[in-house]
Structure 1
Amino acid sequence: MADPATCPPLTRASVQAAHDLIKPYIHLTPLLTCTTLSRIASTPRDLKGTRWEGRVPARPRMDLVFKCENFQKVGAFKARGAFHAVERLKQEPGFDPSTGVVTHSSGNHAQALALAARENGIKAYIVMPEISAKPKIAATKGYGAEVIFSGSTSVEREKVTKEVMERTGARLVPPYDHPDIILGQGTLGLEMQGQAREVFKGEGLDGVLAPCGGGGMLSGVALSCEGTGIRVWGCEPEKDGADDAKRGYYSGKRVESVSTLTIADGLRTPLGLYPWGIIYERRLVGGMYSVSEEEIKMALRLVYERMKIVIEPSSAVSLAIALYNEDFRKMVEEEGGEKGWKIGCVFTGGNVSLEALGELFGTMGEGLEEAAAKDQIGE
């Protein structure tokens, strides 16, 4: 990886420069609307039987738009950071492509680096947890990478990655905790801002909801919005402590390890040091919110049934916050007022197998189906 000391400063201007560098390699993904989802988000919920029971339901007004990185190369936003990191590494004096690059990833960054390396004739070594989704493993191998399996925790993955580096001399391209990755991921935020002005006929976004795992994309989007007046919020699952960024944000101390099997598999990693500096220390993220596994499933189902597009569970977390987190919804009601807010939700990727979807929705049960149906008709 390029020496962080030689990287561009972490600013909006550097995100713009990163976009110029990688535009030939990435797709301009669409920004979609869904009137039904905006209507549901703007309808007070029946809180009976939820953890919010006893509260007065929030009455926010939200116009939602969706940045669809499920249509990005490799099916996820990770292509942006990987291509930017490789382009920057190529510019480094003395870089030898024959030694290769290495990373650890549950799937999306794995595929992204494998593709970026192949496009540049560079050998790629990818450390993946044994529990990674089979389509992500197959795609990573399909892009020509050598896959090495590890345990599922970040500590286990990093240990195997270090062994590969010592054995091959490959250069590390981390999945999120590096300035070049952050700047590359932030390019989706720049695109979203311009696209939203077209959708809303000259008016810009009021805020962005972005999922957070290691924080590379969330911090990059925050940089892209710096100085624009657009607020940014982070979104996490809460299962088994997966809301580490939220806990760290509100305690003032970064949580350095996470062990969770949330269905949002792309968000199982702890918040990185560089993202922490942007998200917390510079306060470019205005707050962190979390949702349950059931709420992620319900949001995912709504996207499939109403938007007719395929996203993975990690993608649904941003929408789930808008639909089901009463703290967030109350904040929008109070600060957005009668006019409400125009909010962008980042759909991070669409790499999910049909088998996994069958298992996922097969476990929802009648109670969750009834809850999802109730939300759809605005009861």
Structure 2
Amino acid sequence: MRLESSARPLAVPPLPVTLADVEGARAIVSAAVMRTPTLHAPRLSQLTGADVWVKFENFQVTASFKERGAVVKLARLSADEARRGVVAMSAGNHAQAVAYHGTRLGISTTIVMPETTPQVKVLATEGFGARVVLYGEGVGEAAEEAARIAASEGRIFVHPYDDPDVIAGQGSVALEMIEDGPAFDTILVPVGGGGLISGVALAVKGHSPATEVVGVEAALYPAMWSLRTGQPRECGGPTLAEGIAVRNVGSLTSTIVAQLVDRIELVEESALERAVNALLILQKTVTEGAGAAGLAAILTDPDRYRGRRVGLVLSGANIDPRVLAGIMMRELEREHRIVSFRLTILDRPGMLGRISTLLGRLGANILEVHHRRTFLDVPAKGTRLDLTVETRDQAHADLIHKALEAEGLPVQRLGAGGADW
């Protein structure tokens, strides 16, 4: 005999934003924001074993999805609010979105950005017409300064994620993916404060409830993961995904995520680097660390997604060019296509020529050469030679290493950053 429980089911709090709100914001977004494509990615599919589709939000004017929520919020300001102007705090993408659409709508914009914000994002925000104030080490301190400016100047504060209009606007990303793409098994969404994934979850669960909605956070900033799992983890540290480097998630967004998001996953910095590089090399598209978080999740746990039809929200492309160049070089080193060797040789004419001839015969392209004669562990008549060469792969690098040793040259393989390999 089955015993029925007398306990009442736990009450589910009403959602602060609904599918109707997302659909109601659609007209504002459609009138002012690009409908970006959702395209199949065969080479990423081959790399991961999943059937990968990409939503290219990096095609927006400001290279980020943030335009969607910002324009809904700004378009719904009263005449008096628009006259007073707005203030926002952001590490970059929300800043540019508010600046661009504020200028377009004739609304004065002040943006408070952390002092650590990449210069490329600061200059872009100023270029869209905003007054930029650099303040504090992170978005928390920047938010406090933005609140002070709002109070002293009478400006309207435009929150980057914990605002019903902003959340509703971001949901248009998923409405377009559902209309333009296949029936997805899973949609992977970068998570910072939770505005994007909240809007996406409302749209997806409203129209395609069988589709998983999975959030992805940088492992250094697991704020939503900690809230969701009840396992507190410290937030902090330099991350490639500064666009989602948030210590505190929103109250509205956390409510929506708790009810509609299937799970939150964490990705390490190395996976983010690999994903940024893969999108550039294989997909021929530029993304910032946060934008690559979805692909990083697949690369971290490929078995979970193998054979599944997966949609990636490529949320933005505002990456410092120097950082992007560094990522590419680091990935070439990881793939053993750029390799460094350290040799201790006799300091006499012809030695360098002998080595370069050998390397040329083996098909290695010399990129850098450094002579170091002053180290005390080098013989007085010797020199330390550091060589960086371009190779085909690890097997080719190993062949070169053995050939140098066969010539009687003491050789040491160096890894990325000059550490012993």
TM-score by length of 2: 0.72
User: Which deviates further from its counterpart, 28-37 or 352-361?
Assistant: 352-361
2:322 is the alignment partner of 1:355 = yes
Using the TM superposition, give the Cα deviation of residue 357 of structure 1 relative to its aligned residue in structure 2, in angstroms.
Answer: 1.4
Whole-Å separation in 2 of the counterparts to 1:171 and 1:369: 52
* Counterpart residue number, 2:173: 188
Give the structure with the larger helix fraction: 1
Whole-Å separation in 2 of the counterparts to 1:299 and 1:190: 25
Q: Aligned in 2, Cα 1:165/1:302: closer, same or farther, shift over 3 Å?
A: same
* Counterpart residue number, 2:28: 21
2:100 is the alignment partner of 1:124 = no
2:213 is the alignment partner of 1:206 = no
Q: Aligned in 2, Cα 1:341/1:78: closer, same or farther, shift over 3 Å?
A: same
Percent identity for Structure 1 against Structure 2: 32
User: Which deviates further from its counterpart, 130-139 or 353-362?
Assistant: 353-362
Using the TM superposition, give the Cα deviation of residue 252 of structure 1 relative to its aligned residue in structure 2, in angstroms.
Answer: 7.5
Whole-Å separation in 2 of the counterparts to 1:163 and 1:11: 31
Q: Aligned in 2, Cα 1:194/1:250: closer, same or farther, shift over 3 Å?
A: same
* Counterpart residue number, 2:63: 75
* Counterpart residue number, 1:235: 216
2:247 is the alignment partner of 1:266 = no
Q: Which has the higher contact order (CA 8 A, sep 6+)?
A: 1
Within the candidate set 271, 280, 300, 1:304 is matched to 280
Whole-Å separation in 1 of the counterparts to 2:329 and 2:136: 27
Kindly indicate whether the alpha-carbon contact (under 8 Å) linking 1:290 and 1:325 is maintained by their aligned counterparts in 2. no
Using the TM superposition, give the Cα deviation of residue 98 of structure 1 relative to its aligned residue in structure 2, in angstroms.
Answer: 2.5
Whole-Å separation in 2 of the counterparts to 1:126 and 1:298: 32
Whole-Å separation in 2 of the counterparts to 1:286 and 1:369: 38
Q: Aligned in 2, Cα 1:131/1:23: closer, same or farther, shift over 3 Å?
A: same
Using the TM superposition, give the Cα deviation of residue 245 of structure 1 relative to its aligned residue in structure 2, in angstroms.
Answer: 1.2
| SS of equivalent to 1:234 | strand
Structure 1 unaligned segments of length 5 or more: list them: 1-7, 43-61, 198-203, 334-339, 375-379
Structure possessing the higher radius of gyration over alpha carbons: 2
Structure 2 unaligned segments of length 5 or more: list them: 1-14, 338-391, 394-421
Query: CA offsets, 1:253-312, max 9 Å, x none?
Result: 8x8x943321101011132111100001x2x10001111111111111111111111111
Give the AA of the match of 2:237. T
* Counterpart residue number, 1:158: 143
Within the candidate set 147, 163, 166, 2:132 is matched to 147
Whole-Å separation in 2 of the counterparts to 1:252 and 1:261: 22
Backbone CA RMSD of aligned residues: 2.2
Whole-Å separation in 2 of the counterparts to 1:279 and 1:224: 13
Give the AA of the match of 2:51. D
Using the TM superposition, give the Cα deviation of residue 153 of structure 1 relative to its aligned residue in structure 2, in angstroms.
Answer: 2.1
Give the AA of the match of 1:346. V
Give the AA of the match of 2:27. D
Whole-Å separation in 1 of the counterparts to 2:164 and 2:198: 10
| SS of equivalent to 1:40 | helix
Whole-Å separation in 1 of the counterparts to 2:328 and 2:116: 19
Within the candidate set 49, 53, 59, 1:65 is matched to 53
Whole-Å separation in 2 of the counterparts to 1:218 and 1:113: 19
Whole-Å separation in 2 of the counterparts to 1:191 and 1:122: 28
Kindly indicate whether the alpha-carbon contact (under 8 Å) linking 1:12 and 1:225 is maintained by their aligned counterparts in 2. no
2:243 is the alignment partner of 1:276 = no
What are the equivalent positions in structure 2 for 1:286-325 lying under 5 Å apart? 286-325=262-301
TM-score by length of 1: 0.80
How many residues end up aligned between the 2 structures? 323
What are the equivalent positions in structure 2 for 1:34-49 lying under 5 Å apart? 34-42=41-49
Kindly indicate whether the alpha-carbon contact (under 8 Å) linking 1:100 and 1:171 is maintained by their aligned counterparts in 2. yes
* Counterpart residue number, 1:107: 92
Kindly indicate whether the alpha-carbon contact (under 8 Å) linking 1:294 and 1:368 is maintained by their aligned counterparts in 2. no
Using the TM superposition, give the Cα deviation of residue 12 of structure 1 relative to its aligned residue in structure 2, in angstroms.
Answer: 1.6
Give the structure with the larger strand fraction: 2
